[in-house]
Amino acid sequence: MAGINKNAAQIRANIVSNKRVGQYHQLIINIGDLAQSCRPGNFVAINVGGENSRMVLRRAFAISRVSANSVSGGTMELIVAPHGQGSKWLCAQVEGAILDIVVPLGTAFGIPTEPVQVLLVGGGYGSAPLFGLAEVLNAKGCRVDMLLGASTASKIYAPMEGKRAVNSLRIYTEDGSMGQTGRVTEPIAGLIQDLNIAVIYSCGPMAMLSAIDEITRGTDVVHQCAVEESMACGIGICMTCVLPVADSEGNISMLRSCIDGPVMDGSFVQWDKVGKAL
Amino acid sequence: MTALDFSTTLGNAWFPAPTFTASGCASSGRELSQFFDIKTMGGVVTKSVMLKARNGRATPRMAETPSGMLNSIGLQGPGIDAFLAKDVPFLVEQKARIIISIAGETVEEYSTLARKLRSVSGISAIEVNISCPNVENRGLVFACDPEASRRVIDGVRRTIGGELPIIAKLSPDVTDLVSIAKGVVEAGADGLALINTVLGMVINLDTLRPHLGGKTGGLSGPAIKPIAVRAVYQVHAEMPQVPILGMGGISSGRDALEMIAAGASGVSIGTASFGNPTAIKSIQNELKDLLVAKGFTSLRQAIGYAHRPESE
């Protein structure tokens, strides 16, 4: 059984900025030297609601990008959709507000040692961490192509500056309001052939991750996916965020997505058993 | 500054502080040890371990509720053998004091678990979690059945012998908690852990069906604190000599002192650690300060204080 991220620490961190970007909020949070230990795929657990809140559980957010040398010290960027009570509270916090956070948590995307062709697939605001990942992969000499999908245009997160690290970016919406009409998973099989893809990195809803697994199953393409399960603690003690995952011998067990994930090898996740008792 | 004796005892087991993890809320202590030195708290109550490895229930396993949460884990765990081989040595190495929580599906399974613990060194006490369905009696939870509760504790007592303290963890979902508490004490329990979670349910308004994979779940957190304080008070009133490990929504030093005044010799912290990995440390420090501020020179003086007549 894997252990908690060795760099994880609980700190009080201040919000450097909070801007609305379409349907989402971009929060920049000062985390000092901890920025150096954050890797693409890691997440942060944030205490929400203030001292007398009736919300007793931390909220987990993927770190979309870190900057180790910013003027305000090391910072991390979060892209937050204000749709639940906790995320609404977070999006309402102003510059200078202090947050109680635990960071960095969870596993990170594996970076290839050789420059290879990679495909990044994001669904909705799940795409946020892919832009930080694209920068790291690009710096390694990988050719990075990206697909983003959502139900509708306003749910696509694709910042201008994020596109610099990608060779191509294609957008899919189910209602056709932006890019091509359809699901983001539709072109994947073709792209694997055309671009000789070695690794797919994905981040988004479970149905999307499962669909990508179906495409890559039986091929040599490695599928690294960041899973989404609701968590109560984010640090491995509550046992609520589990997923059925096989080991190399085929034994299936319920692994914690906060400790053994969020980034997992998609071929080991038992997608057909998610949400079922083993 | 006045010196404060912060130590406590549960049966013949001594602890330097009255603060513990709650079973099932700290995994086996490894994760929390990244945030603070776990030997500085009273002890680690491990997640309830069963005889065989168990995958637990389907997701979703949790739902946040006002000032609380529901969980439906289903006692996921590695089974007693792997637990003793991997988790206990870590705790021993950390010099943490250990209370091992056991759970079974039959009276015999509890005894078998106790037999496996008999030769393990470094354990301070055993918590017997009897809030499990009894497969031999239509799945009725042991803790809701006075006779089954008694038989489980009696079996564990006979197996373990007289040395290691046995703490029976009871459910608040009963009409007469005091009589169940009396029954398990007569059967050989040295102490009581009060309370387990309260059975609850959340309906998902998108599907209009129960939200949790296991349909019902255990409610924990500040929402249940008054229930826990009442339970501890009622049982302590009837059996003041029996040590109680009090738990249910404790998230501050004030909460801990309430529980102690109601009659608890120690407190377990569970859900608060989910929201704050260093909650146990803060609660411990706040409790110390509160006891000193109120003029106590030992924790012991505060235990059951709420039962003293007004004139004192």
Helices (H), B6-76: none
- A9-105 folds as Elongation Factor Tu (Ef-tu); domain 3 (2.40.30)
Residue A68's pLDDT is what? 86
Q: End-to-end alpha-carbon separation of chain A, Å?
A: 18
Q: Tell me the pLDDT tens digit for each residue of B171-182.
A: 999 999 999 999
Contact of B94 with chain A, judged by CB distance below 8 Å, is answered with no
- Would you call the peptide bond into B277 cis, given omega within 30 degrees of 0 as the criterion? no
**Within the 132-191 window of chain A, which residues sit less than 8 Å (CB to CB) from chain B?**
none
Residue B311's pLDDT is what? 76
Residue B1's pLDDT is what? 53
pLDDT band at B138 (very low <50, low <70, confident <90, very high): confident
pLDDT at A192 over 90: yes
Top CATH class, A117-273: alpha beta
pLDDT band at A22 (very low <50, low <70, confident <90, very high): confident
Is A250 exposed, middle or buried (CB count within 10 Å of its CB: 0-12, 13-18, 19+)?
Answer: exposed
Token pair of A184 as six digits: 């983001």
Helices (H), A121-237: 128-139, 188-195, 206-216
Q: What is the least distance, in Å, from the CA of A83 to any CA of chain B?
A: 14
Residues 6+ positions from B298 with CB-CB distance below 8 Å: B4, B5, B6, B7
Residues of B whose CB is below 8 A from A274: 59
Q: Tell me the pLDDT tens digit for each residue of B214-240.
A: 999 999 999 999 999 999 999 999 999
Residues of B whose CB is below 8 A from A59: none
Query: In a 3-state reduction of DSSP, which class is residue B198?
Result: strand
Is A233 exposed, middle or buried (CB count within 10 Å of its CB: 0-12, 13-18, 19+)?
Answer: buried
Contact of B277 with chain A, judged by CB distance below 8 Å, is answered with yes
Whole-angstrom Cα distance, residue B291 to residue A187?
Answer: 66
> Would residue B144 show up in a list of annotated catalytic residues for this protein?
no
pTM summary value: 0.95
pLDDT band at B2 (very low <50, low <70, confident <90, very high): low
Q: Tell me the pLDDT tens digit for each residue of A155-184.
A: 999 888 778 889 999 999 999 999 999 999
Whole-angstrom Cα distance, residue B291 to residue B6?
Answer: 9
Token pair of A103 as six digits: 């960071």
pLDDT at A257 over 80: yes
Q: Which helix (H) or strand (E) holds B193?
A: strand B191-194
Token pair of A172 as six digits: 């899919």
Give the mean pLDDT of A61-78: 89
Q: Which amino acid is it at B55?
A: N
Beta-bridge mates of residue B200: B217
pLDDT at A246 over 90: yes
The string of DSSP codes covering A122-151 is EEGGGGHHHHHHHHHHHHTT-EEEEEEEES
CATH among 3.20.20.70, 3.40.630.10, 2.40.170.20, 3.10.20.30 for B8-55+77-201+217-307: 3.20.20.70
Residue B133's pLDDT is what? 78
Query: In a 3-state reduction of DSSP, which class is residue B247?
Result: strand
Whole-angstrom Cα distance, residue A214 to residue A271?
Answer: 9
pLDDT at B134 over 60: yes
Residues of A whose CB is below 8 A from B31: 3-4, 235-237, 259
> Domain residue spans in chain A?
9-105, 117-273
Residues 6+ positions from B21 with CB-CB distance below 8 Å: B29, B32, B41, B43, B44, B45, B268, B269, B270, B273, B280
CB contact under 8 A, A239 and B24: yes
Q: Tell me the pLDDT tens digit for each residue of A125-139.
A: 889 999 999 999 999
Residue of B23, B34, B75, B215 for testing the chain A interface, max A β-carbons within 10 Å: B34
Residue A1's pLDDT is what? 54
Chain A and chain B share a number of CB contacts under 8 A equal to 110
